[in-house]
Amino acid sequence: MEIAVKNIQGEDTGRSVTLADSIFGLEPNDHAIYLDVKQYMANQRQGTHKAKERAEITGSTKKIKRQKGTGTARAGSIKSPVFRGGGRIFGPRPRNYGFKLNKKVKQLARKSALSYKAKDNQITVLEAFSFDEPKTKNYTSLLTSLSLNEGKSLLVLDSSNENIYLSARNIKNAKVITADQLNTYEILDARYVIMSEEAVGVLEQMYNQKANDN
């Protein structure tokens, strides 16, 4: 798949890059995407919730009333879950919500997400660029020039660039990451995916290397 390379003014440079069909032209696997996104969101959960059970409640252990003759159910402790202020029955405990997902499934999910974006013409490739200083106005102008300021955008760079990252940090619907940080959730969460030429090469090299290792 051929796609034109643009500059930060939104103009065609006259060059183009070929997006590998093995990454950007797959038949998307929706179930792999579901599993990868589910794992990503599960890993965001802190899992620190906790409620006290009856053994952890502070209170007297004295029997609160006699066993028989009251006409009501027997009760042995004020910490019983049936009383107000008592312990909670089967309350939540700290836990890890993460689960294992095979590397091949995660790789397939990310390729599927990129294929969806390529199919919908939501991928833009930029020539190498940088900002002399971190300014939000610079990144806003970039999005306006590319006509990508109406929705959430994700910029993928080949390596970290502090000035670009800081320029986008205060923009609500913009995010900047490097190619090795790319994940299925953020690809699908963004309306537009912007990639530098170098990032395309890094992705192809990274996924081809993983395929050879397998």
The domain limits of the chain are 2-46+98-213, 51-91
Query: Are 80 and 57 a contacting pair, CB within 8 Å?
Result: no
Would you state the structure tokens that stand for residue 165, as one six-digit string? 């990252």
| Band of residue 207 on the pLDDT scale cut at 50, 70, 90 | confident
pLDDT in tens, 121-133: 999 999 989 999 9
- Answer for the pair 155, 187: CB distance below 8 angstroms, yes or no: no
Q: Please say whether the beta carbons of 121 and 148 come within 8 A.
A: no
Rounded-to-integer distance, Cα 87 and Cα 51, Å: 8
Q: Which amino acid is at 209?
A: Q
pTM for the full model?
A: 0.82
Q: How confident is the model at residue 213 (pLDDT cuts 50, 70, 90)?
A: low
Q: How far apart are CA 148 and CA 144, in angstroms?
A: 6
- Give 44-94 pLDDT, tens digit per residue: 999 999 999 999 999 888 898 999 999 999 988 999 999 999 999 999 999
- In order of 32, 57, 96, 114, 154, the CA distances from 29 in angstroms are 6, 50, 27, 11, 22
Residue with the larger pLDDT of the pair 14 and 35: 35
Q: Which of 29-38, 102-111, 124-133, 200-209 has the lowest mean pLDDT?
A: 200-209
Catalogue the E-assigned strands of the chain. Answer: 2-6, 12-18, 123-126, 153-157, 174-178, 192-196
Buried b (16+ CB within 10 A) or exposed e, 171-201: bebbbbbbbeebbbbbbbebebbbbbbbbbe
Length of the chain (residues): 214
Residue with tokens 């930029």: 126
In the predicted structure, residue 210 carries a pLDDT above the cut 80 = no
How far is 131 from 141, CA to CA, in rounded Å?
12
User: Of the CATH numbers 3.40.50.300, 3.40.50.150, 3.40.1370.10, 3.40.640.10, which one belongs to the domain with range 2-46+98-213?
Assistant: 3.40.1370.10
Eight-class DSSP state of 178:
E
